[in-house]
C-alpha cells in the first residue's frame, strides 16, 4: 500500500514476491520460521454463520486479513495516520512488537511475524529449547528486543535466512507468482492479535505509523470476538470498489 504524494507514502528499500492468501502456504512459512507444528493457519469461512465459526479450533491466537488496497482505503489511512505519532519503543504500547515494513510486497510476512511475536505463539520461542532459540523468528525476536524501529526494519531486510525461506514459499500456491518482485499488487495483509502482554486487541500493519489499539478483549475470549469482528466487518462494509476479502486464523493444529 502506498499513498502517492503524501507524507505517509511508504518508502521501500527491497522487494519481494507477494505470498498467496493460502493457509497451507502461511502454515508452512510459520513452521519454517520456527513455530511449533502445534499451530497452523486455517481459513475463516464466515464472519456471521455461527455453525461455520464453531468449526474453527480455539483459541484463535491471531487473524490475518487480506483485502484490496483501493483509493478509498488509501485515503482513509492517510486521514487516520496524519494524527498519529510514529512508533517508538518508548510509546505506551503495552509492549507490542511492531515491525515497520520496508520490504515491498512482503506484507504477508510482516503479518505472520506480528502474529507470532504478539500472541501466545510467542511462548514457542525464546529460550525454552535450543531449537526455538536458534529458529529464525526466535533469533530475530532476541535481536529485535535490543533495537529501535529503524534498526529492526534493517535487520529484517538483511536477514539472508529469512529471505531464503520466504522466497521459497512465495513460489508456492495455486496461482502463478508474479514474475517481477517490484510489480505493485492490489492486495494487502494486516494482522489482528490479542496481546499476550496486556490483553488488548491490536491491528498491526507495517505500512502504518504504529500499532492501532482497538480496545480490551474479555479475558475469557480470544481474537475471534465481537470487538475484532466489528472492525473487520466495518472494513468490508466501507469498501465499495472491491469487496474481495479473505481471512485466516492462527489456531491449534489437528483439532
Bridge-based pairing of strands 200-204 and 187-194 is antiparallel
Has residue 127 got a pLDDT over 50?
no
Indicate if the pLDDT at residue 5 is higher than 50: no
State the angle between helix axes of 136-144 and 107-118 in degrees (0 to 180), rounded to the nearest 10: 80
| Catalytic positions | 107, 188
What does the pLDDT look like over 233-249, one tens digit per residue? 998 888 765 568 999 99
Characterize the bridge pairing of strands 14-15 and 103-104.
Answer: parallel
Q: Say if pTM beats, i.e. exceeds, 0.85.
A: yes
Are the C-beta atoms of residues 100 and 206 closer than 8 Å to each other? yes
Q: What is the mean pLDDT of the chain?
A: 85
Cα(60)–Cα(23) distance, integer angstroms: 14
Residue-wise pLDDT for 66-103, tens only, equals 998 888 888 889 999 998 988 886 444 557 899 999 99
How far is it, in rounded angstroms, from Cα 104 to Cα 78? 18
The per-residue pLDDT for range 179-227, each reduced to its tens digit, is: 656 666 788 999 999 988 888 999 999 999 999 999 999 889 999 988 8
pLDDT at 63 exceeding the cut of 70: yes
Amino acid at each position: 500500500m502506498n499513498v502517492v504524494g503524501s507524507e505517509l507514502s511508504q518508502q521501500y528499500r527491497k522487494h519481494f514476491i507477494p505470498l498467496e492468501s493460502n493457509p497451507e502456504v502461511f502454515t508452512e512459512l510459520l513452521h519454517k520460521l520456527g513455530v511449533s507444528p502445534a499451530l497452523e493457519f486455517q481459513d475463516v469461512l464466515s464472519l456471521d454463520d455461527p455453525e461455520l465459526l464453531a468449526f474453527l479450533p480455539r483459541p484463535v491466537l491471531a487473524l490475518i486479513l487480506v483485502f484490496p488496497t483501493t483509493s478509498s482505503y488509501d485515503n482513509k489511512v492517510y486521514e487516520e495516520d496524519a494524527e498519529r505519532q510514529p512508533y517508538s519503543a518508548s510509546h505506551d504500547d503495552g509492549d507490542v512488537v511492531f515491525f515497520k515494513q520496508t520490504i515491498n510486497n512482503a506484507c504477508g510476512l510482516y503479518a505472520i511475524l506480528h502474529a507470532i511475536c504478539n500472541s501466545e505463539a510467542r511462548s514457542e520461542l525464546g529460550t525454552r529449547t535450543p531449537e526455538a532459540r536458534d529458529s529464525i523468528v526466535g533469533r530475530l525476536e532476541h535481536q529485535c528486543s535490543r533495537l529501535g524501529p529503524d534498526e529492526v526494519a534493517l535487520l529484517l531486510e538483511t536477514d539472508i535466512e529469512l529471505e531464503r525461506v520466504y522466497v521459497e514459499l512465495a513460489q508456492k500456491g495455486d496461482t502463478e507468482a508474479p514474475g517481477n518482485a517490484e510489480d505493485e499488487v492490489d492486495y494487502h495483509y494486516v494482522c489482528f492479535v490479542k496481546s499476550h502482554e496486556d490483553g488488548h486487541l491490536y491491528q498491526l500493519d507495517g505500512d502504518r505509523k504504529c500499532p492501532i489499539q482497538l480496545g480490551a478483549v474479555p479475558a475469557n475470549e480470544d481474537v475471534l470476538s465481537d470487538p475484532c469482528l466489528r472492525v473487520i466487518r466495518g472494513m468490508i462494509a466501507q469498501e465499495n470498489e472491491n469487496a474481495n476479502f479473505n481471512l485466516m486464523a492462527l489456531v491449534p493444529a489437528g483439532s
